[in-house]
Amino acid sequence: MQVLEQHFKMTDGFELFYKKWPASGQIERVILCLHGIEAHSGAFNFMGPQLAGAGAEVYALDRRGSGKSVEPGLQRGDASDFNRQLEDLNNVVANLRSQHSSEKLFLFGHSIGCAYALWFAAHYSGSCDGLVLAAPPVAQGFKLPSLDVITLPFQSAFEPHHMFDLLDL
C-alpha cells in the first residue's frame, strides 16, 4: 500500500508533516489520526494501509513539536505554544473538509491524541462526524462497580457489535 509524506501549511506558515494512505478505490470516509505522547505519525504505519484498503483516506499528523514537525530553535518534543497545536488541528480539519466535502471525517486519537480529538469535538461540534478513542487518558482511581466487572464481559460476548456506555451500566 502506498504511503505519501507531505506537509499541511498552517496559517502561521509552519509546515506540519503528515503521512497519507490514499484509499484504494472510491473514498468512503476520511480518518485523521492523532498520535500519543512521545510518538509521531509512524505509530499508524500498521493500520493506515489496512484502513486505506477498506476505502478510507487516512492522514496521520506529526503534532507540532513531534516527529518531523519540529519548530526551528526547539528540540523534538517541545512546542512553542500548546494553543498553537490546537489551532493546527483546526487548520488541518478545515483543509481536509475542503478537500473531502462529501465524505465523512473521523478523528482517531491514541492516548493523548484522544484529548486533542475530544477538545476539538467539544470546541468545533459538527466539524467531524465521529471520534475513535484508543487508550484515552482517564482520571486515576476510576473503578467499575464489582457487578459491572462481572456483567460487562458477558454483555459484550452476547452483543459484540453493541456500544456500551459504562456510565449507564
Q: How far apart are CA 99 and CA 83, in angstroms?
A: 25
Dig out the grid coordinates for 23 from the structure: 484509499
Contact 92, 16 (CB under 8 A): yes
Structure confidence at residue 145 (pLDDT): 74
The model's pTM:
0.82
Q: How confident is the model at residue 144 (pLDDT cuts 50, 70, 90)?
A: low
pLDDT per position as a tens digit, 24-60: 999 999 999 999 988 999 999 999 999 999 999 999 9
3-state secondary structure of 6: strand
**Distance set, CA 89 to CA 24, 76, 158 (Å):** 25, 19, 38
CA 115/CA 76 separation, integer angstroms: 20
Domains of the chain: 4-137 (3.40.50.1820), 140-169 (no CATH)
pLDDT digits (tens, 9 = 90+) for 47-105: 999 999 999 999 999 999 999 999 999 988 888 899 999 999 999 999 999 999 999 99
